[in-house]
Amino acid sequence: MSESDALAHYVESNRLEHFVNYELVGKSALRVQRWRDQWKLKRRKPRPDSPLSPPLQCVAYMKEIMSRHYLEGRYASGVRKVAWVTSGAPTEPLQALGYFLVYPENHAALCGVRRKAQSIAEEAEHAGWSRDICSYARTDIGAMLSGKTPAGRLPRPDMLVCCTNICQTVLHWYRVLADYFECPLVLIDTPFLYDEAHDHEVAYVKRQIEDMIHVAEEMAGTTLDQARFAEVMQNARRGAELWLEVLNRSQNRPAPMTAFDGFIHMGPIVDMRGEAVAVQYYERMLHELDARIARGIGAIKNERYRVLWDNLPIWFKIGEFSKSLGEHGVNVVASTYTYAWGELAPMIDPNNPLESMARVYLHPILNRSTGHKLEAMKKMVDEFQLDGVILHSDRSCKPYSLGQIDQRDRLSKTLGIPALLLEADHNDPRDYSNEQGANRLEAFIEMMEARG
Amino acid sequence: MLRAHRLHPIEIWGPPHIARHEGNRHFQTYACDIVVKAMAFIRSGGIDATRAILVPHTCDALQGMGSVLTDFFRPDQRVLTLYLPRGRRTSDRDFLRDELARLSKTLVQVSGHEPNATEWAEAFEAEDAADAALADLYRRRNALAISDRDFYTAVRSREFLTAEKFCEQVATLPAGQAPRGGVGLMISGIVADPFELFDQIEQMGAHVAGDDLACGYRRVYSASHEHDPLIRTANRLMSCPPDPTCGTPIHERVEALQTRMRALGAKGLLIYDPKFCEPELFDVPLLRKHLNEAGFPVLHVEYEMGEGLPHQTLSRIEAFVETLS
């Protein structure tokens, strides 16, 4: 299609705003911004007083593609069908059908990192939602009610897809969204795996994915193109494989990145899983990490202790924790949370998409038993040669947190390594005590020092 | 299903006089009381006489409890789980049938007994009669000469009595003018604990006209007449009234509440939740909004199980009753 034809199409279908603000101006402006960021990063001199090495250069690309995603979202309504989806939802068919996907959890995390979450969550609290419900949900409900968001504007959903493989909270949260937006809510119910998946559980999830495809096709007024679907599945698998490789690079000593970097760089695998841009991004990131490893550059200048982080990050403390732990030579090199988007890569089978999707989306660590998570942590302690574990006891994420008391005890007793339960919340600063947190972290570091 | 396997179920809903701290050995302070106190009860030997613990999966807290019991605490009893689907679609029904089949196999191992067709039929006959008696109890409520406290004592005896004993008990409740006066309330939530709450509401000059409690009206199941016992069990479980833990859309729950409140003459809704109950907490603002629009005031109160009735809680309920009167 020529430029003039494309323009005519957009005008005819009342899509001029999308074309001008996103396709024409927005993308170019973000590219220029990325060049500027790259230039700044290259010229940035190492700070002798900082315990951290300079940030990864690829962060400029991530900023560009994530900003582009949110920018398109501002103008997506009426141009593409919009689905709001949970972070563990089987989105590949939706992508192949051309849906624009919004991940409310990622949006809430963005609010957390930008330290806007509390004020936005308070909008939901003023409307009656309790402070005892998930702070992601409160943040997004607050944004929905007030329009406040650092992303500019989120497109109104045509459809909601809620998959319970990360928690039951999302079901209750999405029921609220469905009531507010008066749009269809598609449920993918994934039975919790106390042990291995049974055949009837896989069949159940597969059937629901098939039903979701029918609903999405009907809404989009088109049918799923199998070639495009296969391409998305290939990208999903490759992207997850690369993400896993990225994370496993931290098995090197010194680790070229921290888990806190991982929390930031997981944006594309969550929001753009199945898109070529995510594959390209992680190829670039892997290349940069390999270069760091070859030159012996660690994310922490003086890496003395290597630690595992369990549970979601404390988004509003990422930078502070990275620096303060780094000052003690502590590198949080791995996390169970970031691993969740990579460890299932081998299960993705583009030749058997629906069956393999059913299995993949049943098996995230959050949908598996507390005993399984303990074994996963033990394996990581071994593979990453870890000296300790920080278990973030997250008030807002009960399925991830319940079981941590026993897990901590088992880690300490069976592996003989310090394991700390750190009380906080992933998005609400009111549920974290700076003084108490700092004291507990200091005690944890002393325990590692005592072990030598 | 349990009966057909010669097992008798007794439900645990935050037993009284059990200290929470034993449960806190496994769960954080922000876990719901029902789970923490159940764990404390199990640790204290409260269910030593039982053969198995069945943990239904209705929320993240019960999920955590089932998993911690299985993986870490490992009691002497067999720990069984049942995943209850969150939808009401054909796929959900078929899944539940298969899930019940899985559970049935485990029950055979626990009890050493595999029911035949006759035993299944007898079990359904008895339990359907008890279900019908419970539904009838709700229908006859205004024609029973018993207090709200006695009414809910009878309702909740279904949690531990055999079907036959439950039917016998409710049949003996005295007919007559209900000793209830004042304004009628609808009460919603998981469990109205302690029973003293009903006495206090009565003393405030109000009564409970109806409920939407997980251990009350949401247990009024419809009978199924399917031949296959597993499909029949699945149908029964999926026939319960609107329930957030089953994923009922909020507008359906609101409509059902409005209809029943009008029919029962309830003037307002008291939502009475144990702390940290996410399935209930998410619905509260929208229940309030939609019911207020329909002319029904709403009060939301959270409580800690086994802590008695704090003065502040009673004051809020009293003020609510006064506004309705």
How is A90-135 classified by DSSP, letter by letter?
--HHHHHTT-EEE-HHHHHHHHHHTT-HHHHHHHHHHTT--TTS-H
Question: What CA–CA distance (Å, rounded) separates A347 from A241?
Answer: 10
Determine, for residues A189 and B102 on separate chains, whether the beta-carbon distance falls below 8 Å.
no
Q: Which helix (H) or strand (E) holds A193?
A: none
Determine, for residues B63 and A399 on separate chains, whether the beta-carbon distance falls below 8 Å.
yes
Let me know how long chain B is: 325
Q: Which of A325-334, B162-171, B177-186 shows the lowest mean pLDDT across its residues?
A: B177-186
Among A169, A194, A423, which would you mutate to test the B interface (most chain B Cβ atoms within 10 Å of its Cβ)?
A194
Among B33, B35, B43, B63, which would you mutate to test the A interface (most chain A Cβ atoms within 10 Å of its Cβ)?
B63
> 3-state DSSP call for residue A294?
helix
Task: Supply the mean pLDDT for chain A.
Answer: 95
Average pLDDT over residues B94-106: 98
| A229: region left, alpha or beta (phi > 0 left; psi from -120 to 50 alpha) | alpha
Residues of chain B contacting residue A436, judged by C-beta atoms under 8 Å apart: none
Residues of chain A contacting residue B30, judged by C-beta atoms under 8 Å apart: 132, 395, 398
Q: Which helix (H) or strand (E) holds B35?
A: helix B33-43
Which of A266, A247, A226, A227 lies closest to A88 in space, CA to CA?
A266
Q: How far is CA B325 from CA A166, A441, B79, B301, B316, in A?
A: 45, 55, 49, 19, 14
Q: How many helices and strands in chain A, by DSSP H and E? A: 21, 8
Nearest to A168 among B60, B81, B89 (CB): B60
Which of A114, A106, A113, A135 lies closest to A123 in space, CA to CA?
A135
Q: Which residues have C-beta within 8 Å of that of residue B168, sequence separation ≥ 6? A: none
**Res B65: pLDDT:** 97
Q: Which of A205-209, B10-14, B92-96 shows the lowest mean pLDDT across its residues?
A: B10-14
The number of angstroms, rounded, from the C-alpha of A65 to the middle of its chain's C-alpha atoms is 14
Determine, for residues A175 and B85 on separate chains, whether the beta-carbon distance falls below 8 Å.
no
Task: State whether residue B303 sits within 8 Å of chain A by CB.
Answer: no
Task: State whether residue B91 sits within 8 Å of chain A by CB.
Answer: yes
Judged against a pLDDT cut of 60, whether residue B7 lies above it is answered with: yes
Torsion of CA B62, B65, B69, B70, to 10 degrees: 60
Which sequence spans correspond to the domains of chain A?
A: 3-40+49-451
Determine, for residues B91 and A187 on separate chains, whether the beta-carbon distance falls below 8 Å.
no
Residue A69, CB-side half-sphere exposure with 13 Å CA sphere: 23
Determine, for residues B250 and A134 on separate chains, whether the beta-carbon distance falls below 8 Å.
no
DSSP-H helix ranges across A224-303? 226-248, 259-265, 267-271, 276-295
∠ CA(A162), CA(B103), CA(A361), 5° rounding?
25
**Res B97: pLDDT:** 98
Locate the chain A residue with the closest alpha carbon to B276. Answer: A132
Task: State whether residue B31 sits within 8 Å of chain A by CB.
Answer: yes
Question: What CA–CA distance (Å, rounded) separates A29 from B231?
Answer: 60
Residues of chain B contacting residue A207, judged by C-beta atoms under 8 Å apart: 91, 94
Q: Which two tokens stand for residue B231?
A: 């499909």
Q: How far off is chain A from B66, nearest CA to CA, in Å?
A: 8
Task: State whether residue B26 sits within 8 Å of chain A by CB.
Answer: yes
Q: A286 and A376 in contact (C-beta within 8 Å)?
A: no
Q: A329 and A304 in contact (C-beta within 8 Å)?
A: yes
Nearest to B86 among A134, A189, A423 (CB): A189
**Res A4: pLDDT:** 65
**Chain B, 271-300: which have a CB under 8 Å from a chain A CB?**
275-276, 278-279, 281-286, 288-289, 300
Nearest to A171 among B83, B98, B247 (CB): B247
Question: What CA–CA distance (Å, rounded) separates B208 from B227?
Answer: 38
**Res A10: pLDDT:** 54
> 3-state DSSP call for residue B208?
strand
Q: Which residues pair with A438 in a beta bridge?
A: none
Locate the chain B residue with the closest alpha carbon to A204. Answer: B95
Split at pLDDT 50, 70, 90, the class of A452 is confident
Judged against a pLDDT cut of 90, whether residue A45 lies above it is answered with: no
Nearest to A369 among B30, B67, B288 (CB): B67
Split at pLDDT 50, 70, 90, the class of A3 is low
Question: What CA–CA distance (Å, rounded) separates B276 from B157?
Answer: 26
* Block residue for tokens 């279908």: A13
Split at pLDDT 50, 70, 90, the class of B181 is confident
Q: Which two tokens stand for residue A58?
A: 């690829």
What is the DSSP secondary-structure string of A332-353?
EEEEHHHHTTTTTGGG--TTSH
Average pLDDT over residues B300-314: 90
Determine, for residues B250 and A178 on separate chains, whether the beta-carbon distance falls below 8 Å.
yes
Q: How far off is chain A from B155, nearest CA to CA, in Å?
A: 28
Locate the chain A residue with the closest alpha carbon to B100. Answer: A200
- Note the ipTM here: 0.96
Q: Which two tokens stand for residue A328?
A: 């003690």
Average pLDDT over residues A250-258: 97
What is the per-residue pLDDT across A307-364, written as a single tens digit (0 to 9) for each? 999 999 999 999 999 999 999 999 999 999 999 999 999 999 999 999 999 999 999 9
Amino acid at B162: T
Determine, for residues B278 and A189 on separate chains, whether the beta-carbon distance falls below 8 Å.
no
**Res A399: pLDDT:** 96
| Angle at which helices A104-113 and A135-146 cross, to 10° | 90
Residues of chain B contacting residue A191, judged by C-beta atoms under 8 Å apart: 57, 83, 85, 95, 99
Q: How far off is chain A from B139, nearest CA to CA, in Å?
A: 31
Identify which has the larger pLDDT, A277 or B181.
Answer: A277
**Chain B, 195-224: which have a CB under 8 Å from a chain A CB?**
none
Average pLDDT over residues A404-413: 97
For strand A330-335 and strand A305-310, is the pairing parallel, antiparallel, or unpaired? parallel
What is the per-residue pLDDT across B42-59, written as a single tens digit (0 to 9) for each? 999 999 999 999 999 999
Average pLDDT over residues B186-194: 95
Q: How far off is chain A from B124, nearest CA to CA, in Å?
A: 25
Q: Which helix (H) or strand (E) holds B320?
A: helix B311-324
Q: A389 and A426 in contact (C-beta within 8 Å)?
A: no
Q: A327 and A167 in contact (C-beta within 8 Å)?
A: no
- Helix, strand, coil percentages (3-state) for chain B, rounded to 5, are 50, 15, 35
- Give the number of A-B residue pairs with CB atoms closer than 8 Å: 156
Considering chain A, what percentage of its residues have pLDDT values greater than 90? 92
* Block residue for tokens 């990864």: A56
Judged against a pLDDT cut of 80, whether residue A2 lies above it is answered with: no
Task: State whether residue B64 sits within 8 Å of chain A by CB.
Answer: yes
Among A123, A126, A138, A175, which would you mutate to test the B interface (most chain B Cβ atoms within 10 Å of its Cβ)?
A175
Determine, for residues B68 and A402 on separate chains, whether the beta-carbon distance falls below 8 Å.
yes
Average pLDDT over residues A370-381: 98
- pTM here is 0.95
Residues of chain B contacting residue A401, judged by C-beta atoms under 8 Å apart: 28
Residues of chain B contacting residue A175, judged by C-beta atoms under 8 Å apart: 244, 247, 249-250, 282-283
Q: How far off is chain A from B28, nearest CA to CA, in Å?
A: 7
What is the per-residue pLDDT across A29-43, written as a single tens digit (0 to 9) for each? 999 999 999 999 998
Determine, for residues B86 and A187 on separate chains, whether the beta-carbon distance falls below 8 Å.
yes
Residue B137, CB-side half-sphere exposure with 13 Å CA sphere: 32
> 3-state DSSP call for residue B191?
coil
Q: B43 and B36 in contact (C-beta within 8 Å)?
A: no
Q: Which residues have C-beta within 8 Å of that of residue A4, sequence separation ≥ 6? A: none
Task: Supply the mean pLDDT for chain B.
Answer: 96
Task: State whether residue B164 sits within 8 Å of chain A by CB.
Answer: no
What is the per-residue pLDDT across B15-44, written as a single tens digit (0 to 9) for each? 888 888 999 999 999 999 999 999 999 999
**Res A13: pLDDT:** 61
Locate the chain A residue with the closest alpha carbon to B28. Answer: A402
Residues of chain A contacting residue B275, judged by C-beta atoms under 8 Å apart: 132
Question: What CA–CA distance (Å, rounded) separates A388 from A450?
Answer: 12
What is the DSSP secondary-structure string of B76-143?
SSEEEEEEPPS--SHHHHHHHHHHHHHHHHHHHHHHS----HHHHHHHHHHHHHHHHHHHHHHHTGGG
Provide the 8-state DSSP code for B29: T
* Block residue for tokens 């300079």: A54
Residues of chain B contacting residue A200, judged by C-beta atoms under 8 Å apart: 95, 98-99, 101-102
Task: State yes or no: cis peptide before B310, omega within 30 of 0.
Answer: no
Average pLDDT over residues A411-440: 96
Nearest to B67 among A194, A410, A423 (CB): A194
Task: State whether residue B228 sits within 8 Å of chain A by CB.
Answer: no
Q: How far off is chain A from B178, nearest CA to CA, in Å?
A: 36
**Res A7: pLDDT:** 54
Q: How many other β-carbons are positioned within 10 Å of the β-carbon of residue B177?
A: 9
Which of B211, B206, B192, B321 lies closest to B260 in space, CA to CA?
B211
Task: State whether residue B83 sits within 8 Å of chain A by CB.
Answer: yes
What is the per-residue pLDDT across A376-386, written as a single tens digit (0 to 9) for each? 999 999 999 99
Q: How far off is chain A from B215, nearest CA to CA, in Å?
A: 20
Nearest to B282 among A173, A393, A399 (CB): A173
Average pLDDT over residues A128-157: 97
Determine, for residues B99 and A191 on separate chains, whether the beta-carbon distance falls below 8 Å.
yes
Q: How far off is chain B from A139, nearest CA to CA, in Å?
A: 13
Determine, for residues A179 and B276 on separate chains, whether the beta-carbon distance falls below 8 Å.
no
